Amino acid sequence: MAATTMATAAGAVLLLYYALSRRASSIAEEEDSTVGGDYSESKSRSAKKRKWPIGDLAFGINYLIRRQELAEARKKKRKKHYSLEQAISLFEIFCFGVCPRLVSEALKKMKGKISEIASSHVSSRVLQVFMWFHRTCVKHCSQEERNAVFVELRPNFIAMSTNTYAVHLVTKMLDNAPKEQLAEFISSLHGHVASLLRHMVGSLVIEHVYNLGNATQKQALLVELYSPELQLFKDMVTVKETRLVDIISKLKLQKSSVIRHMTSVLQPILEKGILDHSIVHRAILEYLTIADKTSAADIIQQLSGLDLVRMIHTNDGSRLGILCVKHGSAKERKKIIKGMKSHVQKIAHDKFGSMVLVCIFSVVDDTKLVSKIIIRELESNLKELILQQSGQRLILQLLHPNSTRYLTPNDITSLGLSIPSLSNKATPSPYLLLCTLFISELNDGEAVEEEKKDEGDGVDTSILLNEGGKKDSLKRRQELLVNSGLAEKLIDACCEMAGDLLRSKTGKDVIYEVVTGGADGILHPTLDEKLNMLYEAIASLASEAKVDEQKEEHLLEQFHSSRTLRKLVLDCPEFASTLWEKALKGKIADWVKGHSSKVVKAFLETSNSTVKELAKKELQPFVKNGDLSVE
Ligand SMILES: *[C@@H]1O[C@H](CO)[C@@H](O)[C@H](O)[C@H]1NC(C)=O
Ligand SMILES: *[C@@H]1O[C@H](CO)[C@@H](O)[C@H](O)[C@H]1NC(C)=O
Ligand SMILES: *[C@@H]1O[C@H](CO)[C@@H](O)[C@H](O)[C@H]1NC(C)=O
């Protein structure tokens, strides 16, 4: 008996190999007939044909199926607990790998057994192959066939969602599902959202669906976490009410009962550490908008620690991180920072995670600890950090804090959040969180990023955050940036990478702030000597001769660098002087056209009056003869 099965398996593998090598050789065509040569010798029949051996294959498969069925029928008689997956997997893997058209056949064979197969781990792999196949070979598999699978699985959705293996099929299936099926799946979850979310495996499905769903569907999942009544009257909730407070007032729910219900839902989730999901982040955030002082403080205490790192990669998670930093006690802040140890680089490079670090820089008074853990780790990879969009925000926050030039509206909203019941301010702050949340809802997403002013001429209004530390903010920055040694390393990095930074869309802001000495002149006078070296470094790059066949555009002519240099000439008198002396004096004729003319013209308005006079004299003739246009 065993021998028969072995022979079947061996036969299948052989045939598979054969078919694949046939395909390979037909692709390679005449080039190399020795590919699979061994096989064409042993199977002389195939050597004659150069076509896809579909006839052979069908024959072979039928033969194999019959043999296997026979063998299995016999086996079944003998063994009571015969496992279905053995019967199917070999055949299916074989089919999917070789001949797409046989999938329908496979489907027929599996009919009525799919959820059983999906729940056992061996064949759920097979089903994954099958689902993959569905996606890539839509031509060969009809929508009807896919619908049939969906319909067959429907009664088992909840059970499958908590099965370690079947969950893969469920998520794969949802990825490819048409809208109606997704909607149907979501309504089948109705009444089970909270319990699934408490389940390690089940929570994966909820999160998956939450990410796939549209706003209405997201909301439908969330409201089940708010109140048991909403589970019954789900249809009452329309998409217009997205905030929990609004839902409470619209549906005249009892706030205390919502708090009670949410506590009972969220507590087990927190205890089990199911913290990676964005739906959980959103639910906790909403909970904090209504929670009383004690419950809110309790949540902050529970989240502040190692686990916070797992949450701050989503927008809502990062907001929770910010709230923990702001409302946490000194002890909790310490735990948060220590929990970030050895993850700092990763957090810094994350769009949302980096905002928690920005917040730490703004409010934590224990600068020794922040330097020791966060600054040290950032320094280890400073060059990469200042060229990366999220990473550079941290450096910019120290150089020029709370700037709307460098932070997006969404960032600013996040930094401005506070928990109503824990807010120090007696006045209307209960609504602040809610209002700002609402604003951010409107601004959510990438669109905001696009709006960020590219040119430096944007208005820079600094914002005020809510719950700061006790320390003077300039002193805190001084300690974090200058005393920690970060600034020195930063200037070194800028010297080394001046050209790259000036030419890069993301790097130019950092070098601009460093050259100008940061807000409040934070780098002066301690680092003046080093800054002079940086001015020299930039000026010497700018003084390079203009060669047509250069690999990189000249610093004075490249789009970003010319604009940044222009701004620097306007804003930084020391730099204007160095650049004039080293790079432009006597060479104006080369630079009066194109992007570089912006730099040249800036000297007519520079903040260094000595240089301004010198430049005026030299530029006058070019203005007169019309080479340099000043409007
Ligand atoms: C979300 O999808 C459901 C089902 O497809 C649909 O009825 C609803 O109108 C959609 N809502 C939005 C806001 O697109
Ligand atoms: C930036 O925000 C923090 C956080 O509240 C605040 O303490 C600080 O004063 C602000 N900095 C400036 C320069 O406005
Ligand atoms: C302005 O330029 C002059 C001449 O290059 C230079 O000596 C002086 O130090 C500059 N002024 C400032 C404030 O840097």
Full domain range(s) for residue 510: 489-631
Which ligand sits closest to the CA of 216? Answer: 1
CA of 363 to the centre of ligand 2 (A): 8
**Whole-number pLDDT of residue 72:** 63
pLDDT at 589: 87
Instruction: Give yes or no for a contact between 73 and 111, defined as CB atoms under 8 angstroms apart.
Output: no
Q: How far apart are CA 213 and CA 387, in angstroms?
A: 35
The answer to whether residue 272 is domain-embedded is: no
Question: Residue 476 C-alpha to ligand 2 middle, in angstroms?
Answer: 10
DSSP 466-517: SS--SS-HHHHHIIIIIITSHHHHHHHHHHHHHHHHHHSTTTHHHHHHHHTT
In DSSP terms, which residues pair with 403 in a beta bridge? 462
Question: Could you tell me the distance, in angstroms and rounded to a whole number, from the CA of residue 241 to the centre of ligand 1?
Answer: 15
Q: Which of 216, 235, 239, 241 to mutate to test the pocket of ligand 1 (most atoms within 8 A of CB)?
A: 216
What is the position in ligand 3's atom list of the atom closest to the CA of 608?
A: 1
Cβ–ligand 2 distance for 473 under 6 Å, the answer yes
**217 Cα: distance to centroid of ligand 1 (angstroms):** 7
| pTM (predicted TM-score) | 0.76
- Atom of ligand 1 lying closest to residue 180 CA: 5
Say what the pLDDT of residue 277 is.
Answer: 96
Residue closest via CA to ligand 2's atom 13 equals: 401
Any idea which ligand is nearest the CA of 416?
A: 2
Q: Is the CB of residue 468 below 6 angstroms from any atom belonging to ligand 2?
A: yes
Q: Is 456 in the pocket of ligand 3 (CB under 6 A)?
A: no
Q: What total of structural domains would you count in the chain?
A: 1
Does ligand 2 have an atom closer than 6 angstroms to the CB of 413? no
Q: From the CA of 480, how far away is ligand 2's center (Å)?
A: 14
Q: Does residue 88 lie within any of the structural domains?
A: no
Question: Which residues make Cβ contacts (< 8 Å) with residue 331, sequence separation at least 6?
Answer: none
Supply the pLDDT for residue 160. 82
Kindly identify the ligand whose nearest atom is closest to the C-alpha of 609: 3
Asked if the structure places residue 609 within a domain, the reply is yes
Domain assignment of residue 622, yes or no: yes
Q: For position 150, what pLDDT does the model report?
A: 81
For residue 457, the model assigns a pLDDT of: 37
What do you get for the CA distance between the two ends of the chain, in Å? Answer: 95
Q: How far apart are CA 432 and CA 416, in angstroms?
A: 9
Instruction: For residue 109, tell me if it sits in a domain.
Output: no
Mean pLDDT by 10 residues, the chain (631 residues): 39 38 37 35 38 39 56 60 49 49 62 65 55 48 74 83 80 85 92 93 95 91 84 55 83 88 95 94 96 93 92 96 95 95 96 96 95 96 94 96 93 92 59 45 38 36 49 93 96 96 94 96 95 96 82 89 96 96 90 90 94 93 84 66
Q: What is the pLDDT of residue 487?
A: 97
pLDDT at position 157 is 87
* Ligand 2 center–CA 269 separation, angstroms: 34
- Give the pLDDT of residue 71: 67
**What distance in angstroms lies between residue 362's CA and the mean position of ligand 2's atoms?**
6
Q: Is the CB of 217 under 6 A from ligand 3?
A: no
CA distance 377 to 560: 29
Does any ligand 3 atom lie closer than 6 A to the CB of residue 610?
yes
CA of 213 to the centre of ligand 2 (A): 38
Distance of CA 532 from the midpoint of ligand 3 (Å): 12
Q: Is residue 114 part of a domain?
A: no
pLDDT of amino acid 167:
82
Checking 171-175 for CB contacts under 8 A at 24+ apart, the result is: 171/204, 171/205, 171/208, 172/128, 172/131, 172/132, 173/131, 173/149, 174/208, 174/209, 174/212, 175/135, 175/212
Q: What pLDDT sits at residue 176? A: 78
| CA contacts within 13 A on the Cβ side of 274 | 25
What is the Å distance from ligand 3's center to 611 Cα? Answer: 7
The pick from 465, 470, 478 for probing ligand 2's pocket by mutation, whose C-beta has the most ligand atoms within 8 angstroms, reads: 465
Number of DSSP helices (H) and strands (E) in the chain, helices first? 39, 0
Q: State residue 627's pLDDT score.
A: 81
C-alpha dihedral, 552 to 554 to 557 to 558, nearest 10°: 30
The pLDDT value given to residue 512: 97
Residue identifier of the C-alpha nearest atom 2 of ligand 1: 214
573 touches ligand 3 (CB under 6 Å): yes
For residue 177, give the ligand nearest its CA.
1
Residue 93 lies in a domain: no
Write down the residue that tokens 């409007």 correspond to: 631
